Structure 1
Amino acid sequence: MKRIRFMGDRGDGSYSKRKQVKRACDSCRTGKRKCHHDLAGGAPPHHERNVPEVPATAGTALEGHEGRRSINHQQQEVARSPGGTYEEPTSSPLYSLTPIAPFAGPSSAHSLLLSAYTSSNMTPTGLETGPSRGLPPSRLLRPSFQDLKAPSSERRPGVAPGYLPFLVRAILPYLEIECLQMLPPQEDLDILMQVFRQEVHPILPIVDFTTRALSGPIDRENPATIILRQAICLAVCKNASARQHLKLPETETGQLSFQKPREFADKLFGALKIAMDIGLVDDRLELVQVLALATFHSYGPDGDDEVARLCGQAVHYAYSSGLHYPSPSGGRISEVRRVELLYSLFALDKIIAMVTGRPAIMRETEAYLPAQGDTILKELPPGLRLLFRLSQMLNQVLDLYRPRAPDEALGEEWAWQASWPEFEDLAIEYELPAMRASMQTCLELLYHAISVLSYRPPQPPAVRSCGPEGLPAPATQISKVRHSYCAQRISFLLSLETTMLPFVPYAASLSLTAALRNMQQTTLESTKRLAKDDVERSLRVLAELTETYWHAESAGTIGRQLFQTLS
């Protein structure tokens, strides 16, 4: 064994042939760690941390750049030393060394305190008082890569270096690899992205294709470049023009195989959900887009609950990014882009409230939106402007279904009696004829679904008898006629090619519900026969949508049972 002479030892020259090494500090020597401390100059700078070596066996199951990335994560994030003590993780270059506060509105304590300085002309240097500040990374309140990568200045209170169990920290890189490989091959991916641009983006411009994550190629060192593409594929996979390109690698073999729309969406949704849960998307604006696109898929009986939760998260991150305030000059996003994203979220929120029967989250009065006649509106896509107009109508119609006092709810019939615009007039006003025929059909389908909802049938007699007697029922004839006509119109529109948005199976089930109600309430044989034809046509439409939507399968099963009972 070579004799070792520590640098700084005073000798008389008899140690000149010994190997010179740096003496470890007491804490590193006790923990048997490689020491980076300068005993003569004090503690090391913040970015010099100890990085434990990963055993060679840790990377044998990984191949290519994915394996190198996983080992790199383990070197940075698996922070247990050979001596059994925890090490602080290396600071990630994605995070700034200066803490960035999340958005704080003008009524918050932070803003009110700063406003006191402003009013006294004593604004301290470095304190920002504007409502829209730098957009911080997303801090997910669950075990994630963000907890492991964040330096001490950005950690949540109570999150120490050993906050996560060793097994959790070790498995996160493998979950990342599993999620990021769930993507169609490049040629199919390019076509799916193009279908999204043609079919969905003109109506719901949720995605910003000019961002670095989408304008450049796929980069596995930046997971957002993959996760955003996965979310786009999830949102577009139910369209007919995308059917031939739904290929995904099998989990067991890795070989590509064609998938049915529901199977394709289920696999992508699972990968997206894990990717969001472990914090692979660390930018709030990108996270808003991924969450909004994830609401396009409802996978089963509890799918609506998950969709509503994801929508609420998207709205939450939009608000915490300050998108409900005007974009400052030279800000990260333009004012047009901000309005596009807010309009899209507002429409999605109302559609999900309609489909799931839950309260809406966003209120128009809680965000700064351009007034009628504003020049910004002319720069928005016409499909988005019409969708926002329809979502405003839907928000008013949903008042008929919001909670009321028992006497009021049971004693009256509800109907929307206000002026109701014709769809032809709306189409001309918002330049709809210039759009693709499938998008025209989609927006008209939403219009008729709202029209069907605008008439709420009276409660059954057994229920109404519990309410107060003698209350006059409002005139509902106009709404009732509109209800029946629009339900039949939905069945016709669903026989045409349409852009598949989340409300399509719901509209089909509305048409079936109206037909079943007419079949039950009519007394004339001719009208009953017409109602039966409407029911059979609606059931056929739902059967065709079963391969695409779980909602269609569920509504069709219930509808057939009711039809057999009433026949």
Structure 2
Amino acid sequence: MIRFVPADVGTIGQKRKQVSRACNGCRAKKKRCRHVEASPKDLDSQIQAAQLAKGDDRIDAINDDYATSPTADSSTIPASTRPSLQVSPSENTRNPVCQSTMAAPPQDTLAPRFVDGLNPEGVFLAVHSPQDTRGAFSHDRVGIWLADKLNSKEKQNDRTLTRSWPQSSLLAGRHSLLPPHESIRNLTSIYFKRFHPILPIINESAFRSLGPTDPAYILLQQGICLVASMIPSSKGHLFLGDSEVPLQHREFGKRVVSAMRISTEAGVITDKIVLIQALVLMWMFSDGPDARDVSSLLCARVVQHIQSLGFHVYRKSPDQASHYESTMLCCVWAIDRLNATFHGRPVLMHERDFGIDLAVYIDSQMPCTRLFLHVISWLDKVIDMYRPNAELRSSDLEIPFDSFEDLLVQSQSLRIPTPLLGQFIILISLPRAVFSLSRIWLIFSPKATIETLYHAVSILSCRPRSFNTKILSSASRSRRELSAERVTSLVLDKQVCQLTYFPFVPYAVSLSLSVAYSEMRHTKVPMLRARARDKLQINCGLLERLGEIFYLAGLMSDMGKSTLDEYDRIYLTAVEDYQQNYSGSCAALDSIRATERVEIIDNSNAVPSTSREFESNNGVNGHSLLTQESDPSFYVDLPDLDVFGLFDPNFNLDGIDAYLEGNLNLTYPTNF
């Protein structure tokens, strides 16, 4: 008969202890056998080994309760007083499980151990190391934890190894996630010509002085290529690795961002200045449904690093401080405001915590940057209108808003250098044949890009007194609609300028779409409703084009287009019913009127010809307005029709309202 005996009898971890059989001698004497049981020393060793196998997590958690105790140093404890984990060969042979469990670290790497107040060892510790145990065994404590200094040193060595390992093993991988040399040169040129004049987060001179194998250079070069890839003209340079065809904008961005996140999270770069630059460049690209959370986390890390450097409390004038330090502080301050606007988050940097005059730092910047920061200053005032207690201060809901021309004068940005202004006037002066045959690239206008942001801020400045009623004053409504139309025209008209696609460009278009949707949703005038529908359709097309670069722009375009499809379906159905119902009644009305007209002519000749001419010219008799084909111009003929009230219940109109109209509320988190 074969009997299976478990191999782990008597070990730790079983639900019920298995009783071993006595030896032959004890069985003959009818006595309790103690020959095969584990000795107390073996059991203690097994328990200590199991505690070591669980790691230091539980010990660290308990050790927090005794963090104030001065007994964290056990370097003065004699080695002889420490428990030994050595197991004799005979014991290991007898218990193979114990042998595998007891493969513990050497004595110097022991975890901290607990000495309770009733342990006599505490008396010896108080004699040999009174500085470590003074006050430890008081009435409110049950013991002390003895931590080994060697363990802390080992943890520091492990941390050093984790930092040096990615730097050596991922160097080749990061190189493979850079475009070819020719593409790098073109993308770098695009970045410093189009993005850098407005947001100079990169120290260009310091960047160009880095070596090509420097990890900081590789990280910043990836960020520069990432931001430059958001320009449509960069499509031909988006190569990575061994790809033979250019990648799509979003695919290129996702791969580069993944590589940059590995470098920043693995601790390859420790310079906070470089980390701030890289994180800001990563913040400018957002993709995927979690873009709001990722961007907000990146912004929080940027603010944390710059506050760690103390740039916000340095009491230095712009002449005494480094110019780049003041520029970096202004850029991070602007990013914090934009992030709060896009994602409905509170700002993290407050001027009451600054030890410097931010206005002086802003005035010391270059013209394009200075104009951009002046618009951000207005945005900061608008954000204050959307704070939770803003409804209690009704006087603050309407602020005097300067025109864009006034901002140009205030920021002294009228004389921006010609390469930054654009050459549209020169191109107009060329002959038409030369203009049509020559392939001339329009140099972008940073003024138009910043003007797009200005009109987005202008839209947000028109806040209703209550978001439940959405009632605006006439002046605020007119300003909001004009700013929305201006945003659409700036992005739509390619012949005026080439916009630089900062994240606030699709955000401004989304605000214009929300304004058009709100007007179409709540207006009672059919003509204005038809006009708002056309604006909504145009903005959906613009966001669809921007969706090739910005994921959330395409998402908002899809919601707008689905709303338009449902709206047109219901409206055309209502128009067809309207035509069918009124065509028969109008035909009967025409026959009655013809009979009456014959009787009137026969009896008396009192009807003036001018009346009949007026009726004929206005289509009353011919009812041309009722029999024409259904086209967009026909939307003005059904004033009493509530199209949105006829939407399919499965369409989730409430969700569309909450997202599209909630986009105009800064306190409402949106995915931009």
TM-score by length of 2: 0.54
Partner of 1:20: none
**Paired residue for 1:493, among 487, 490, 494?**
490
**Which residue, 452, 460, 465 being the options, matches 2:459?**
452
Q: Secondary structure at the match of 2:240?
A: strand
TM-fit CA distance, 1:458: 5.9
Question: What is residue 258 of structure 2 aligned with on the other side?
Answer: 270
Preserved CA contact (<8 Å) 1:298 1:550 = yes
Residues in 2 aligned to 1:279 and 1:371: alpha-carbon distance in whole angstroms: 32
> How far did 1:177 drift?
3.1
Change (3 A) 1:273 1:423: same
Structure number with higher helix proportion: 2
Q: Does 1:188 align with 2:195?
A: no
Counterpart of 2:259 in structure 1: which amino acid? A
Of the candidates 401, 418, 425, which is equivalent to residue 420 of structure 1?
401
Distance apart, 1:270 and its partner CA: 0.6
Give the C-alpha shift of residue 400 in structure 1.
2.9
User: 1: CA distance between counterparts of 2:252 and 2:290?
Assistant: 18
Aligned to 1:289: 277
Partners of 2:395 and 2:507 in 1: CA distance: 21
- Residue 259 of structure 1 deviates from its aligned partner by 1.2
Query: How do 1:311-326 residues align onto structure 2 when only pairs under 5 Å count?
Result: 311-326=299-314
- In structure 2, the CA distance between the partners of 1:417 and 1:379, relative to structure 1 (3 Å rule), is closer
Counterpart pick for 1:261 among 224, 242, 249? 249
Query: What is the CA–CA distance in structure 2 between the aligned matches of 1:163 and 1:215, rounded to whole Å?
Result: 30
SS in 2 for 1:324: coil
What's the secondary structure of 2:155's corresponding residue? coil
SS of corresponding position for 1:494:
helix
CA distance in 1, matches of 2:379, 2:170: 40
Partner deviation per Cα, 1:330-352 (whole Å, 9 max, x = no partner): 99x94321111111111111111
1:157 offset after TM fit, Å? 8.4
**Partner Cα separation in structure 1 for residue 184 and residue 175 of structure 2:** 14
Report deviation, 1:315.
1.0
CA contact (8 A) 1:413 1:457 kept: no
Q: Secondary structure at the match of 1:456?
A: coil
Corresponding residue for residue 352 of structure 1: 339
* Equivalent residues of 1:427, 1:433 under 8 A apart: no
Cα shift at 1:172: 6.8
1:382 to 350, 353, 367: 367
State the Cα deviation string for residues 381-428 of structure 1 (Å, max 9, x = none): 1111111111121112122332249xx58xx98984221100012123
C-alpha distance 336-235 of structure 1, shift in aligned 2 (>3 A)? same
Counterpart residue type for residue 513 of structure 1: S
Instruction: Report the Cα offset of residue 561 of structure 1.
Output: 2.3
Specify which of 461, 481, 484 is matched with residue 484 of structure 1.
481
One-letter identity of the residue aligned with 2:278: V
CA 1:403–1:565: 2 relative to 1, 3 Å: farther
Contact 1:415 1:476 in 2 (8 A): no
Instruction: Tell me how far apart the structure 1 counterparts of residues 515 and 165 of structure 2 sit (CA, whole Å).
Output: 55
Alignment root-mean-square deviation, CA = 3.4
The answer to whether the 8 A contact 1:292-1:311 is kept is yes
Query: What do the CA deviations read for 1:64-111 (whole angstroms, capped 9, x no partner)?
Result: xxxxxxxxxxxxxxxxxxx987999xxxxxxxxxxxxxxxxxxxxxxx
- Please, which runs of 5 or more residues in structure 2 have no aligned partner? 1-103, 110-148, 423-444, 569-672
TM-score (norm 1): 0.63
1:39-438 → structure 2 map (5 Å cutoff): 159-162=155-158, 173-211=168-206, 213-219=207-213, 222-249=214-241, 254-326=242-314, 334-370=321-357, 374=360, 379-404=364-389, 408=391, 416-430=397-411, 431-432=413-414, 434=416, 435-437=420-422, 438=445
Distance 2:159 2:550 in 1: 41
Identity of aligned residues (%): 28
Note closer, same or farther for the CA distance 1:364–1:180 as it changes in structure 2 (3 Å cut). farther
Unaligned runs of 5+ in 1: 1-82, 89-151, 465-472
- Contact (CA 8 Å) 1:520, 1:566: kept in 2 or not? no
Contact 1:414 1:457 (8 Å CA) reproduced? no
Q: Do residues 538 (structure 1) and 539 (structure 2) align?
A: yes
Counterpart contact for 2:318–2:326, Cα < 8 Å:
no
Partner secondary structure for residue 248 of structure 1: coil
Distance in 2, matches of 1:537 and 1:312, equals 35
Contact 1:324 1:366 in 2 (8 A): yes
- Give distance in 2, aligned partners of 1:330 and 1:381: 13
Q: 2:535 aligned with 1:551, yes or no?
A: no
Answer with 1 or 2: which has the greater Rg.
2
Q: Structure 1 counterpart of 2:198, which letter?
A: I
Does the 8 Å CA contact 1:239/1:500 hold for their aligned counterparts?
Answer: yes
Q: 2: distance between equivalents of 1:235 and 1:354?
A: 20
CA contact (8 A) 2:341 2:383 kept: yes
Shift of the alpha carbon at 1:329?
10
| Aligned 8 A contact 2:510 2:553 in 1 | yes
Contact persistence 1:184–1:246 (CA under 8 A): yes
CA 1:162–1:383: 2 relative to 1, 3 Å: closer
Per the TM alignment, residue 205 of structure 1 is displaced from its structure 2 partner at its CA by: 0.7
Displacement after TM superposition at 1:278 (Å):
0.4
Contact 1:87–1:161 (Cα < 8 Å) also in 2: no
> 1:32 matched to which residue of 2?
none
2:157 is paired with a residue whose SS is coil
* C-alpha distance in 2 between matches for 1:429 and 1:164: 51
Partners of 2:385 and 2:396 within 8 A in 1: yes
Residue identity opposite 1:343 in structure 2: C
Give structure 1 regions of 4+ aligned residues with deviation exceeding 6 angstroms: 83-88, 155-158, 163-166, 168-172, 327-331, 412-415
